[in-house]
Each structure stands twice: as structure tokens, then as C-alpha cells.
Amino acid sequence: MLGREWRLGSRTADTGSDLSPVTPERRAELRGLHRQIGVRFRDDRLLNLAFCHQSHAAEAGSVSNERLEFLGDSVLGLIISQALYRRLAGRPEGDLARVKSVVVSEESLAQIASQIGIDRYLLLGRGEERSGGRGKKALLANALEALIGAFYLDSGLPAAQRFVERVFAAEIESVIAGRHRQDYKTLLQELSQKSFHTFPKYRVIDRRGPDHAQVFSMDVVVDGRSYGPADGNSKKQAEQRVARIAYSALVPGDEGARSGSG
């Protein structure tokens, strides 16, 4: 048992002390998102929590959306995996894994989050607000995962599945058709395994800035040679950027890497 009551995918899952009251003004604001994304939360406290960044939680003495993000990441992975299993019938596991890695990447999640207007509903601390947090890809991607986790708890797995498949449908088709930004981390891993029989090794070589606006500097080692560094607002972003540098060096004829696409 987790908490006082737990049923997988149920509408009565107990979230413990995570939930805080929502003011009438904020509830009216969130109802606008209901109409925008085509879903309706039974408990607006869950929806509100999904948008509560750690910077706001620290200032308000409340709980952040990190636990919902953790849950939503797993729910999203399951739903997308099942959708690709059906959509790509007969294709090998490697193809499904490659498509999934792009569909659930930070880049894709941030793009979808912006499209459905999540940035307007985020609760940010003053420092994060001043530093342009509403436009940060990592923050938007995390909030979308938290939203999915919240909707799963609020309305169950079937409803969450319908929502995810609807809002991710265009991205899934785009990735399958090759109309997407390259996932250089996956490309580099495949190249490294095929050519050198080893995996790339990513290293954080510098971390700077306040907790709410950190910049990570990373390099990557492939077959004993170091490439980079590259900076990012998250480790995932820095890894993608340094992987692109390495892949471009190892495959100099790749037009996407040299031209800046991806």
C-alpha cells in the first residue's frame, strides 16, 4: 500500500499531503486550460500542482511538481510504447526504440507543451520568472510530464491514454516520416556501437548558475577521444548538443549535423 489508499490508475489514488487549496481566481484560470486541451480535471488541485515549479514551491513553502513529473514520465513512456507497438507492427525493437526516444525527448515535449499553452499556467519563483523560465525547454517538458501524471491520477489510465495519443499524434507521425529534428544522442550511440563496439560516455565538466537556472557543460568520450564541450539548461540538452558535435566530427558528410538541423 502507498499512502492510505492506492489502486493503479484509479480515480481515488491518495496523493498524501502534496495537494494545497486552489483559490477561486486560480481555479477559473485553470478552467481555461480545460477547454484548451479538451480535458476536465475532477480535482483542480492536481492540475495546479502539475504546474508548480520547485522555484515557486521554495518561495511558497509548498510542494513542487517533481513527484508528478516522475509519475508522468513513466505513464507517458508506457502509452507511447503501446501506441508505437500498434502503429509499427512488424518493425524490429530497434526501430520502435529510436522513434520513441525522439517522441519523448525534451525537444518534442517542450514543443508540445508550448503548443497547448502550458507556459501561461506555470507557477514560477521570482528568480525563475525573471530568467525566462516560461520559455525553458526543460521546464516545459517537465511540466507536461507532470500534467500527464496528474491526469492519470485524476481520471485513470484510459483517459490519460486518450489524451496522450491525441496530443502526441502529429509528433509520432512526424518522427516516423523523418520530419523531425535529429536525435543525435541516439545516432551517436548507434554509431559508437557499430564502429567501436562501445558506448559514448558523457561527463559533466562544469555546472554554474543558481539552482533555479543552472547551466551544464558536458563533453562526451567516444573510442577514447573527447568531443565538446557543449552547454545546456539541463543535462539532457547538453548531452544532445555535445552528441551532435561528436557525430558531426565522426560523420563529416552528414548534412543535418553540418547545417544545424536537429
What residues are labeled active site? Answer: 73, 145
Phi, psi (rounded to 5 degrees) for 12: -120, 15
Cα separation, 80 vs 112, in Å, equals 14
| Cα(252)–Cα(75) distance, integer angstroms | 38
Q: Which three cell numbers stand for residue 145?
A: 510530464
The CA-CA-CA angle for residues 211, 214, 217, to 5°, reads 145
Q: Which ranges of 38-122 does DSSP label H, i.e. alpha helix?
A: 44-50, 54-60, 66-87, 93-103, 106-115
For residues 37 and 51, the answer to whether their CB atoms sit within 8 Å is: no
Burial class (CB in 10 A: 0-12, 13-18, 19+), 92: exposed
Question: Using CB atoms within 10 A of its CB, is residue 128 exposed (0-12), middle (13-18) or buried (19+)?
Answer: buried
Task: Give the integer Cα–Cα distance in Å for 79 and 133.
Answer: 28
Q: How far apart are CA 232 and CA 218, in angstroms?
A: 8
DSSP 183: -
